[in-house]
Every structure is written in structure tokens, then in C-alpha cells.
Copies of this chain bind each other. A is one copy, B any other.
Amino acid sequence: MALPTPLRGVVPPVCTPLDQQGEVDTASLARLVDHLIEGGVHALFALGSTSEVAYLTDRQRDTALETVRKASDGRVPVLAGVIDTTTGRVVDHARRARDLGADAIVATAPFYTRTHPREIAAHFRGIRAAVDLPLFAYDIPVSVTTKLPAGLVRELAVDGTLAGLKDSSGDEGGLRRLLVELGGRDARGDGPAPGFSVLTGSELTVDAALLAGVDGVVPGIGNVDPAGYVRLYEAALAGDWARAVSEQERLTALFSMVDVGPEADMGRSSSALGSFKAALHLLGLIDHPATALPQQPLSEASVAEVGRRLTAAGLTPVR
């Protein structure tokens, strides 16, 4: 299906449930997709960082994307992450994503190598030229070490290389500068890149980002509570900022589950993705809470803590 221009709303990065052999649990994934769409989300982002894309083999990536595509069944658009180190490898993923029916693709700056703004520009232009799908830039320096320069994003927005930006940089000041340069909150449609979509991945400041004029949000914890982010988005659209703040505060408290895995035992990916999956499992949405190797599993005590955070946020564990 055609992607709205600009893409707006809540676009969760869909978790990839795994079975006990570490393979994609397609039944759980389909159930999760239903949960998200029923929660009111506006699009789905498959194969993002929260989807454990960096942990999935090419075969597993195909299975996950295919499952999301089929389960969504045209109800909402599907964006697909095409995450790899450099242009040639990303283009391979982009072609697979196209063949599997993705409505748009999402790519990061090059990583593993030491890159440069000129090379990042060539990278996005090379991907766009190779595969005819709307292309989103995924700004995630915590993973790729490079922050996308604001001037570069603007240039690629204006010249049509990029359809949008998923900003997970955490640099809200830089994002604000970009938004102002694109016309500001109320005048972006008349600005130099009218259809360009700006999505924030900073899930704890969505009310603030919507106030500043972003088009939407890609919240990892939105897997667990999609309806909460939809309510937050709608409150902001309606100008009901008190309600938006209140919803954001509840979701921020819920998000604190990412800290249940003790730092001495595991990395932040294990702890964050492990808590999301534990929550989905406790809510009865997926059959197994497993994360992919070499991530470390949460302890029973950590899982119990996730359960308490769910309850405190008004969600009801069934296990």
C-alpha cells in the first residue's frame, strides 16, 4: 500500500518473538501484530533495532518481515529496516524487503567503518537509486557511532532522496533545529520539504516532540502498550497537552522496566529487549520471552519486577 505523505502517528518497531530453538515464532508475531493494530497504531516498523534485527539471520529477517506483512494484511503500512554496514549490503536487504512487500525502507548511516558526511550522502543516494521505495534515514548514533549531520538530513529531504527521518539520536536540540529549518511546527507543509516525515524514537519525550512538530513516534515500549501511545498522540493532536503529559508520564514509568536487568550481568540491549519481551509474555501476547543470542536472559526476580511495572501502569499480566 502507498505510504501516507508525510507518514504520521504511532509506528511501533515490532518485536520479533522467538521460540525455544531461537527461531522466529510466527504465530506469536502475528498475534503481536494484531495487538498493535487493534491498539490503533498507524504503521508498523519491522526489522528495527527493537525487532532485534542485528541478531536475526537473513533467513530470519525474511520470515519476520513476511509474517508482519501477512498479519497486517494491508490494514496499515509496513516499513522494513534494512540494517547493515554499507551500501552494497543494505541494497541487498532493500531488494529483499521490496520483494516481500514492504511499503518503505529504513536505513542507518554506514557503520563498522569510519565514515564521513559525503559518504553518508552517497550511501543514502545509492540505496534510493537501487530500490524504488520511500527511504527513511534512521539516526541512531548509539548503534552506528555517527550522528547524522542536520545539514545533511535537510539536503537529502529537500532533494527527495529521503521520505523521512527516524530520529533515535536523543539529540532533541538538534531535532528542533531541523524542524525549524524545515519550516517550523505549523509551516512545514509550506517549507522546503513538504512531504518529509519526522518521527522520533525518543519514547519518553513524545509529548514534547509532538509539541515541537514531529509527525509521529516509533516507541519500543509501544509493543507493550500501543493504545497508550495512540492516546498520547491523539491528545497532542487535539491540543490537550495536560492529557498528553499525563499519558507520557505513565508510559515513562512503564518504560523503567528496561532497567530490571542488573548492569553487572548484561548489556543494555539484553535488559531492554528482555524486559519488553517479558512484558509481552506476561500479558499473554507471545509464547516465549526469549531474546536472541548472545543476549543474556532476565532472572526470575527481574521478570517479577516487570510484572509489577505492568500492574502499576494499569496493564494486567495474565501469567
A60 adjacent to chain B (CB < 8 Å) = yes
Residues of B with C-beta under 8 A to A319: none
**In the bound complex, what is the Cα–Cα distance between A88 and B213 (angstroms)?**
40
Chain A residues close to B by CB (< 8 Å): 22, 49, 54-58, 60, 83, 85-89, 92, 110-116, 118-123, 126, 142-145, 170-173, 176-177, 180, 184-185, 202-205, 207-209, 211-213, 239, 241, 245, 248-249, 252-253, 255-256, 264-270, 292-296
18 A-B residue contacts at CB 8 Å?
A49-B112, A54-B89, A58-B92, A83-B112, A114-B142, A116-B270, A116-B296, A120-B294, A123-B294, A126-B294, A170-B171, A172-B202, A172-B208, A180-B253, A207-B208, A208-B209, A211-B245, A213-B245
Smallest CB separation, A288 vs chain B (Å): 16
The SS class assigned to the A binding surface is helix
Q: Which chain B residue lies CB-closest to A203?
A: B173
Please tell me if the beta carbons of A173 and B144 are within 8 angstroms of each other in the complex.
no
Q: Which chain B residue lies CB-closest to A209?
A: B208
Please tell me if the beta carbons of B252 and A180 are within 8 angstroms of each other in the complex.
yes
The count of identical subunits is 4
Residues of B with C-beta under 8 A to A184: 249
Q: Which chain B residue lies CB-closest to A174?
A: B204
Please tell me if the beta carbons of B293 and A123 are within 8 angstroms of each other in the complex.
yes
Please tell me if the beta carbons of A55 and B113 are within 8 angstroms of each other in the complex.
yes
Smallest CB separation, A62 vs chain B (Å): 13
Please tell me if the beta carbons of B22 and A173 are within 8 angstroms of each other in the complex.
no
Please tell me if the beta carbons of A118 and B205 are within 8 angstroms of each other in the complex.
no
Residues of B with C-beta under 8 A to A209: 208
Known: A112-B144, A207-B212. A89 touches B202 (CB 8 A): no
Known: A112-B144, A177-B252. A296 touches B122 (CB 8 A): yes
Please tell me if the beta carbons of B176 and A204 are within 8 angstroms of each other in the complex.
yes
Residues of B with C-beta under 8 A to A245: 185, 211-213
Please tell me if the beta carbons of B269 and A113 are within 8 angstroms of each other in the complex.
yes
The answer, among B114, B120, B249, for a CB contact under 8 Å with A269, is: B114
Smallest CB separation, A99 vs chain B (Å): 16
**In the bound complex, what is the Cα–Cα distance between A184 and B204 (angstroms)?**
13
**In the bound complex, what is the Cα–Cα distance between A142 and B256 (angstroms)?**
25
Residues of B with C-beta under 8 A to A270: 116, 119
